[in-house]
Structure formats: structure tokens, C-alpha cells
Structure 1
Amino acid sequence: MSDKFRVVIIGSGPAGMSAAGRAAQLKLKHVLLEKTDHLSDTIYKYQKGKHVMATPSQLVLRSDMDFDAGKREAILGTWDEQTAGHGVNVMYNAEPTKIEGEEGNFTITLKNGDTVQAETIVMAIGTQGNPNLMRCPGGDNKLVQYQLDDPGEYYDEHITVIGSGDAGIENALGLAADAAQNNIVTILNRSAEFARAKKANVKLLMEAGEQGKVMVRNETTPAEVKDGELVLETRDGQETIKCDRIIARMGSAPPRKFVEQCGIEFTSEDREAYPKLSPAFESTKKGIYVIGALAGYPLIKHCMNQGYDVIEFINGNSELKPADEPILEAKFAGLPNSRSVDEWLEFFRSNVTILNDLSPLQMREFMLDSEPQSYRRDDVIFEKSDPGSSLFAIAEGSVAVEINPDDPSITVPIEQGSIFGEVGLISGRRRGATIKAAEDVIVVEISRTAALKLQASVPAAKRRITQISTERQLLQMFGSGLTKEDIAEVVESSEILNVRAGEAIIDEGAEGNDIFVIRVGSMVVEKQIGG
């Protein structure tokens, strides 16, 4: 194909389809490349009859394509009709394998050998084609599948769903929905909470668990897959359950190799890191834009808004503001100083260490779930023994921790860029000390759900939170005026261990020089006396 397109959109999911719809409305010469024979393959592969949510509810939809909560089939039907009605130029069975050239003169090579010429490229390829695989012994067993098309196909089976996100929860609920199917459904969650999932889905799952429709197994992971059985690793040791089928919904990662071959850089070396992007979605390869799940925004409404916006940016509309701008403006309105939304986002990202690795797009989503606040000098942020599991991050100023209940003047400072409140987040215990503003401060309060989601999706943030909490536990334990610089080597070499109930950490009489600090839970000391 020799004609050059003003914009080539790769991937026809909500983001790509919305981008193509906007390009068609603006009469831009475009083509939408889809590797399958149908639109929106990820949603096409949703389980039959799945109810698709339109969250966040407060976010306005900005797209030439309609979208509202409803059944998968109805949504796909609407998009098929509107794509045709808007005159979107779609090329099916067109899978790109290589992108070469520079802005204004890109060549896209397809799997069948054809080429497509483009001035600009919008990548909306998603991540579902690159699922996280089971890596335990037997993970390649025929019992394991990574997709559930129709829950109604399965009867009289023991089915285990692995995954704590929305996909895993919805699969489990779908398999247990019809009592006549007589399935025994178990869902495994490696942590104690469903941090990645929508609150509505978690609520439905908990109700199904209470009703006995789904066995909800928290803090449980697969240890080995056998024919007809699944060995579980639980807090109380290993357990084997009957299993006819495993639905593994453990998330996915960007197709990094292909993306990097296009000249696009990522925010870090972590497998689940996202590409570096400008506020206008442009990657480090000038002329190539990235939107949707590949940009770190998996929600449909976000994706569709990005599709609309990126075409407007490419067409020269530099004044366009994102659809979530009014919501964020309202959040920042009560803070001192006058800054734009982008300036506030960069202020928090650059000043708070646990947020340093977030992209501008991830920062927007993060701040939608968090609360920026300001305090004057000597204001109490929270008091000792208060309930609370939120995490606070200091973007400006410092706070003082009262360490002696009998003398509030004895305090320890926590500086700008750091966090506090991590004890409640990690262990669920009440606030361990009273904390006041040592000077005028600006902080962001991160709900427990948002903090867990941040740690699950940004490995660098999890490492930093772990490092800070470890430093503080060791300093509190050792005392003697030590500083974090004094124990830096100890913290660097420390490990976080998850130990099952009943498992020995130290055996009497064994040699060992390690020191163990309890982060969560409790231990029992046993000693042999006279045999």
C-alpha cells in the first residue's frame, strides 16, 4: 500500500476505535489496523453476557463513539454500527511486525508482508496478548487456560480461578452464577485484599463467598499443578484440592520487545513498567503516540477519552484539556499557591519519592483516588491510637513525630519526599504516634486501596515503601541515636520473608547470625527442656 496516511492507529480496542472515530470526524486520512477479523478483541473475548462497567462514574465521556454500562454484546454491537456509520477506515487481519522511519515518514510492515506508510502513529495495542503465565511446577498442564469465553459451557467441574483483579473476580462469579451448572468454584488471591479490583466487584465476590457460591482463598498461591489436582501454598502450609480446570487471570505486561524496537523508552526496567509519555501521549520516539492499556490506563472510559484527545493533539489542538481536568482542578483548589493541574501533578510526582516512577498519565489516575491536603505549622495530622490505614506522602515541608507520650516536645522529624502512616497500611494497627506539621506542609493522603493498588502496579513504589518501613522499624528497635545512613547497609541487605503458620524460622541449636524483625503477625518461642 503506497498511499501515506496522516495517522495510522494500531489496535481497535476502546482507545484505538475512539481515536479512529475522531480522525474520521475530522476528515483526516487514516487507517485503523486490527490484527483479528473483528473490532476490540479484548472486549470481544470477555465472557459471554458479561456486564461491562462504565467507571469512574464522575468522569465525562469524550468520544465520537457511545459507551455506557451494559452487556458485552450490546456494547460491541453499538461500536460496530458506529464505526461503519462514521466511515472509519478499518483494515482487518493486519498485524504490524515492524515500524521503521521517522515522524512524517513511517513504514509499518505487516505480518503478511504488506506495508503501510504513515506520518504519525497511534499505538493502542493493549496488553492482553501478553498474559502473565503460571510459573509453578505443572504450570503448563492442560488444565490451565488464560481466557474464559463462556462460563455457561462448564458443568459439574471443580474450577479454580487465579487472580485478584476484576477479570478473575468476574470469571469466578460467572462460573458460579447458575446453580444448575453445579460447579465448585474457588478463587485464589495471593494477598489479604483485592487491591486491584473495583469495589463493586469485590462486594459481589464477598457476598458470593458468604452464600457459599465461591470459595474465596486469600493469602494463597498455587504451588503445583497435577492432573485433577492443585497443590496450594497457604499460611498454614500446603493443601491439595480437587481441580478439573484452572482459569489463570494474573494480569498482563506490555509487549515490551516490539515497543522498544520501535524506539520507545520505558519508565524503568520492571516487566510491568509503561512507556515514557508526554502529557499529549507522545512517546520518546517523535511521531509515535501511545494510549490505552499500554499507557497504563486500562479503564474503558479513560481509553476512549484518550483516543479522542490524541487525535485532537495530532491535529494541532494544543489547548485541549483532558476530560478529568475539572475533577483534578477541584482537588487542588484548596492548596496554597496557584498552579495548573499539570504543574500540581509534576509537583507531587517529583517531590514524593514513591511517586517518582509514575508517568503523567498514571499520576492523573493516582490523584483521582487520593486527597491532596495542606496543614499549617503545629496542626495535628493524626493522633496516637487513632484508627486509620491511609498512607501520607510529604510533597512540601516536614512533619514531627511525637515519640514520648509524657513529653510532646521530644519529636523525630520526617522530611519532604518521605511518607508516614505506613504502620497502619502494613499491619492494620492503630496509629502508633501523634504526628504534627513541623512547618507548613503539603501532603497527599493515599487511601489503603489506592496505596495497595500503587504497590501492585508500580514495583519501584513498593520497594521504596518497604525500604522506608524497614528503616524505621530498625531505628526504633536499635535506638541509640542511629540515623538511616548508619543502617543503610543493613537495610540494603535485608529481606522480607512470608512465613507460613507453624513453620520454623530458627531451629534450636542451629548456627545463625541473622536478626528477625516481625512486620506483621506474631511468633511462638519453643524450647526443649529435658527432652
Structure 2
Amino acid sequence: MTDTYDVVVIGSGPGGYVTAIRAAQLGFKTAIVEREHLGGICLNWGCIPTKALLRSAEIYHYLQHPGDYGLTAENVSFDAKAVVERSRAVSRQLNAGVGFLMKKNKVDVIWGEARIAKAPRGEAAGTVAVAAPSKVPMQPQPPLPKGALGPGDYAARHIVVATGARPRVLPGLEPDGKLVWTYFEAMVPQAMPKSLLVVGSGAIGIEFASFYRTFGAEVTVVEVLPQILPVEDAEIAAFARKRLEKQGIRILTGAKVNQLDKAGDHVVATVDDGKGGSRTIEAERVISAVGVVGNIENLGLEELGVRTDRGIVVTDGLGRTNVEGVYAIGDVAGPPMLAHKAEHEGVLCVEAIKGLPTHPMDKAMIPGCTYCNPQVASVGLTEAKAKEGGYDIKVGRFPFIGNGKAIALGEPEGLVKTIFDGRTGQLLGAHLVGAEVTELIQGFVVAMNLETTEEELIHSVFPHPTLSETMHESVLDAFGRVIHT
């Protein structure tokens, strides 16, 4: 057994590697255990490479409509393998970047699969047993960071579980890697399918639907709930749906795939339309995007008595489990399952271990973003949730068609919606759909964290011409002072 570490983090996704860096900054002797790729799902199979794919789709979309900008482009085409390779190259660059950050911050990297053999107790360290990886990576493993450690037993005073999540599998929709895909296979197609069925309309499902439709696939989305993007404000989701349908995406809500029959090169889905009828949908490929489930297995948690609930580790607001010295952060600790939530949660966890003054994260102030076309972004309460909470609300709306920058960009279809407490002026929620709204939402996040009221927002000066002016106008509209509509 090596010398005792102060902190051992299991998992090197955004939550894990940020936790390790912050622990090292605080003076803890720190190690991180990873079995496949530094950066985890986000850098290798999620947040980053999907945005690279969507960027290629965005540029291809513009090239298909050059006349809208007074331009001419002929014989526009795409190379599916090159699109995928660009995305993988972005991932490799960031993967290497995480390795550099580990070295810079003197975090030891331990390569293998971790199991907590003994939990820390008081001043006595616990033990993390690391075995050789059993999982075969879908993509070649980048070179290990110089000095990376291997299998063995490692002593730790604090153990942070940051093992992330994997795609949820429903009976009858089991992925086979050929006809039925998870997001793993959907990110590395050998060729673009001519037709696609997407089951699930959360952020993952809608982003892939948008990507593949842009490259010419006939796309159908099936969602069991009444609206797509179920966590979003109903008005914003309805706006996004109209735009997606205008692009040719067929959307069935309140519907369920009851049966999936596979042929040699396609599938036939039997779909209950929720109205007493059924229909069949034939598609070359199916993407199952029905959520994710935490990676809690084979970690020794059951033997230690760590409490879990429906596939996640139960923690308090600072990452502590019911077992002393064992913590959990990120997707494995429950929703919202977002990289930025995981990062912040990890920082709070190790700062609490250090004894620094801190407080649990307010999950109501965590923004959510969907990078389809049009983009969707939100923070705080939806209009329905605000009403359920008993607030007497004021709602402001401002369309992109009233914004000069949006028109100049050729992106006039969008909407900003703000929700205020009519009594106090507190900003309760903000919901946006349109071009680049994932970059705008943070302005409302900062405002909410500063407990800003409508008065401060109204008197803030927004630069012209920018899309951010739509945010200002939405606030003005909530209080009867809108200018440009």
C-alpha cells in the first residue's frame, strides 16, 4: 500500500477532476482513479464532442442557405467520417488537457477500476482497491499521463465517488450497437442514416434529432410525456417544437414504443399514439435517449452500508453520504445530471472537508441548456411551477423578431421569457429559445444569485446591438415598460 492520500476521487469526469484539482489547491495529497478516459463521459462522449458535431451541422445548415446572406455556394456536401473525426479530435485535445491539469496540480492518476474495500473512520484511513480495467474502450485509449499509477491498494482519509452515469436501458429497447444506439454509437456513425427514430425528447434526444435532421435524415421523435423537453417551460417547449417540426422533424408526444422488430438493416417500431391507436414507424436506426442511471455498482457501496435510492447515492447538500469519510458528487449523486452541477458540487464537497465556510448548492439556480436548433436555455421556476408555489407572478416576453442583432444574424425566431414575483420583484425564472441563448442564460443566473430585482435589471445598460437586449426587453415587458414591441 502506498502512502496515505488525504483525498482519493473515483472517476475523472468534470465532477471528479475538478474535485481533485480543488482538493490539491487546498493542500490535500490527492489521487484520482479512472478506468477508461480522463475527462469522463462529458469530454469524451457527451458535452464537448456533441457540441463539435452540432457545430458541423450548424455550418452545413448555413451552407445550404447561402442566398439568405447574399452568398453563393455550389455542390455543398459533407463527409460523415470527417465530421466524426473532427469531434473525436476535439475530445482527444481536451482529454490531454485534463492530463496536463492533473500533472500541474500534482494529482496522482491511478489507472484502473476502483472499489472501496474499507471506509475511513475518524483518523483511520480507508482503502481503495484498484484492479486492472475490465472495460474495453469504444475508442483507442490516449497515452496515459506520464507517471500514472496502476492496480493496487491505496489508503485514503476521504473517498469521493464521482463515477457518473450511463444510458438507461428499457426492456425492448436494449441497444445492440448496430440498429439500436445509445449516445455512444450515435456520436460515431460510419455513415449518416437515411431515417432515424429517437425515443425520448430530453436534451440528448433533441440534440441528436436536430443533428441528424440537418444532415438529411428523416427523423421521428417519440416522447411518452405530453411535451418535448419535459423539464422546460411549456411555452418555450412549444416554441421549440414548432421550429423543429418546421425543419421536418416528426414529433409524437404522449406516445410510447410498444414493440421494436429488427430486420437486417432497419427496425420497425410499433408506437402507441396515446389516443387509443397505434402506428408503425420504419427507420434505419433507433437512438434510445430515455435518461441515464448512476454508476453505483461494483464500488463496494452495499457492503459499506452506503445508502442508495433508485440508482443514485444519497447525500446531503455537501456530498456526504451516511458513511463517514465517503462522499458522492455529480451524476451518481442525483439530478440535475449536468456537468456544471457536478463541478460545483465537487468544489463544495472538498471545501467542506477542509472546514471552509460553505453552504449547499441551490439547485433552483442551476441553468440547463439544450444545443439543438434553436437552442434552449433556462434557470429557475417555470411559469407553471411558480403558480404552483403560490406566487403572484408577473411574466415578461420578448421575441427575437424585435431585436436588431437577431435580424442582422438571420436568426429572428426566438423568445425570452422572464418570471417575477409580483410582490417583491424577485426574479423567479428565465426561459429562452433561439440563437445563442445558451450563452445568454448566465446573465440571469448571476442576477438570481445576487438576489437582483426587476429594478436593478431595468436600470442595467445592455450593449447595442446584441442579442442580450432581448433579456432587458423581457424584463421591461413584465412590468409594462417594453420598448420595441
TM-score, normalization: structure 2? Answer: 0.57
Q: Of the candidates 178, 191, 196, which is equivalent to residue 159 of structure 1?
A: 196
Amino acid at match of 1:247: I
Q: Of 348, 361, 378, which aligns to 1:309?
A: 348
Measured in 2, the distance between the counterparts of 1:15 and 1:137 equals: 29
**Separation of aligned partners in 2, 1:393 and 1:149:** 39
CA distance in 2: counterparts of 1:101 and 1:155, whole angstroms: 48
Q: Per-residue displacement from partner, 1:2-47 (whole Å, max 9, x unpaired)?
A: 3211110011111111111112222311100011143323431128
SS in 2 for 1:279: coil
Task: Output one character per residue of 1:163-213: Cα deviation in whole Å (capped at 9) or x when no partner.
Answer: 12111111111212223xxx212111111113445678986564232121x
2:126 to 106, 124, 146: 106
Match of 1:244 in 2: 284
2:279 is equivalent to residue 260 of structure 1: no
Of the candidates 90, 97, 100, which is equivalent to residue 115 of structure 2?
97
Q: What is the CA–CA distance in structure 2 between the aligned matches of 1:326 and 1:226, rounded to whole Å?
A: 41
Residues 1:262 and 1:145: Cα distance change in structure 2 (over 3 Å) = farther
Q: Aligned residue for 1:86? A: 105
Match status 1:143 vs 2:161: no
What residue number does 1:460 align with? none
2:278 corresponds to which letter in structure 1? Answer: Q
SS at match of 1:153: coil
Taking the aligned partners of 2:317 and 2:219, their CA distance within structure 1 comes to 43
Say if 1:107 and 1:116, in contact at 8 Å, map to a contact too.
yes
Partner of 2:12: 12
Closer, same or farther in 2 for the Cα pair 1:279/1:49, shift >3 Å? closer
State the shift of 1:119 in Å: 0.9
Q: State how many pairs are aligned.
A: 322
**Could you tell me which residue of structure 1 aligns to residue 22 of structure 2?**
22
Q: Distance in 2 between matches of 1:202 and 1:33?
A: 43
Match of 2:207 among 157, 170, 185: 170
Shift of 1:322: 5.1
- Contact 1:224–1:232 (CA under 8 A) maintained in structure 2: yes
- Find the aligned partners of 2:232 and 2:97 in 1 and give their Cα distance: 25
Match of 1:369 in 2: 380
Contact 1:33–1:95 (Cα < 8 Å) also in 2: yes
For 1:14 and 1:248, locate their aligned partners in 2 and report how far apart those are by CA, in whole Å: 24
Runs of at least 5 residues in structure 2 that lack an aligned partner in the other structure: 53-89, 133-150, 367-378, 392-427, 433-485
Structure 1 equivalent of residue 157 of structure 2: 119
SS in 2 for 1:239: strand
Q: Alpha carbons of 1:82 and 1:107: their partners in 2 closer, same or farther (altered >3 Å)?
A: closer
What is the RMSD of the two structures over their aligned residues, measured on CA atoms? 4.0
Q: C-alpha separation between the residues in 2 aligned to 1:185 and 1:42?
A: 25
Aligned-pair identity (%) = 21
> In structure 2, what is the equivalent of residue 283 of structure 1?
321
CA–CA distance in structure 1, aligned partners of residues 349 and 173 of structure 2 = 44
Letter in 2 for 1:91: I
The 5 Å alignment of 1:146-225 reads 146=182, 147-150=184-187, 153-179=190-216, 183-196=217-230, 206-212=242-248, 214-225=249-260
- Compute the TM-score of the two structures, normalised by the length of structure 1: 0.53
2:337 alignment partner, one of 251, 273, 298: 298
AA paired with 1:369?
Answer: G
- Are 1:232 and 1:240, in contact at CA under 8 Å, matched by a contact in 2? yes
Match of 1:354?
A: none
Tell me the CA shift for residue 370 of structure 1: 3.5
Instruction: Report the structure, 1 or 2, having the larger helix content.
Output: 2
Q: For the residues of structure 1 that align with 2:329 and 2:174, how far apart are their CA atoms?
A: 36
Candidates 388, 392, 395, aligned match of 2:388 = 392
Greater C-alpha radius of gyration: 1
Contact 2:31–2:108 under 8 Å retained in 1? yes
Structure-2 change in CA distance of 1:48 and 1:6 (3 Å): closer
SS at match of 1:286: coil
Tell me if the contact between 2:162 and 2:328 (Cα under 8 Å) persists in the aligned partners.
yes
| Alpha-carbon offset, residue 77 of structure 1 | 5.8
Unaligned segments of structure 1, at least 5 residues: 53-70, 329-367, 372-386, 396-444, 450-531
Tell me what 1:41 maps to. 41
Quote how far apart the aligned CAs of 1:149 are.
4.7
1:244-291 C-alpha deviation (Å, 9 max, x unpaired): 21111111222445433332113xx5x25x433233221000111111
Query: Is the contact between residue 197 and residue 285 of structure 2 (CA under 8 Å) also seen in structure 1?
Result: yes
Distance 2:100 2:354 in 1: 25
Aligned counterparts, 1:490-501, within 5 A: none
